[in-house]
Amino acid sequence: MMKGLLLKEFYVASRTCRSILFVAVVFFALSFFGRDSQFFFLYPLMMVSLFPVTLLSYDERDGWDKYSLTLPCTRAQLVSAKYLIGLIFGGAVFLLAELLLAVRLFLNGAFDAGAFLSLSSALLLLGLLGPSLLMPFTFKFGSEKGRMAYYLVIVLLFAAIALLAGMGFYTYLEKFSWLVIGAAVLLYLGSWRLSIFFYEKREL
């Protein structure tokens, strides 16, 4: 059943989120022309990682959330399908961003393993932070109420990025890269479990 749910999510995402994928390609291309390219890698990663929230809104609009109750699947599986499709798309974009970042650093003669790891950990943390914060809220209250939270999270994340970059946050990450990576993974897993709890209690 999980395979069928994932195929459904993939089909809907591939048809409804093409514009976001196009924006991701454009930003990755622009990353080779700007001096400070972190933003060009981070923005598409954050947008793609929020695919599950967009898919939830389509589910509610089309009545899938109620129809799915007649299927031989649990609410935990429905939630898990959203988190897994987020990992699949977000993971693919993250790996592509890592490859392009490494290429850019090599071309500039500035590749350093420690700095690369610190930037990678920052990308991973900020890429997972949005869905980790937003998904439980959306599963608990629905996409209509979640829409305002969606825009609020986007604004707060970019404000935090700008603030941390101005404070030289990336220079301190090298010492704590693995800790940041572990925290990002635990945050996403905790959000996953919390969303299951909320969705199982929610009346549809």
- The 10s digit of each residue's pLDDT in 47-91 is 888 888 888 888 888 888 888 888 888 999 999 999 999 999 889
Helix ranges (DSSP H) in the chain: 2-16, 18-30, 38-49, 51-62, 64-67, 75-107, 113-141, 143-166, 169-172, 177-201
- Residue 185 pLDDT level (bands cut at 50, 70, 90): very high
The number of beta carbons lying within 10 Å of the beta carbon of residue 201 is: 10
Distances (CA, A) of 165 to 121, 158, 173: 14, 10, 11
Residue 37 has pLDDT above 70, yes or no: no
Which of residues 23 and 38 earns the better pLDDT score? Answer: 23
What pTM does this model have? 0.86
Asked if residues 111 and 105 have their Cβ atoms less than 8 Å apart, the reply is: yes
Residue 162 has pLDDT above 90, yes or no: no
- Residue 164 pLDDT level (bands cut at 50, 70, 90): low
Per-residue pLDDT, 147 = 66
For residue 33, give the amino acid letter.
F
Most confident of 19-33, 86-100, 148-162: 86-100
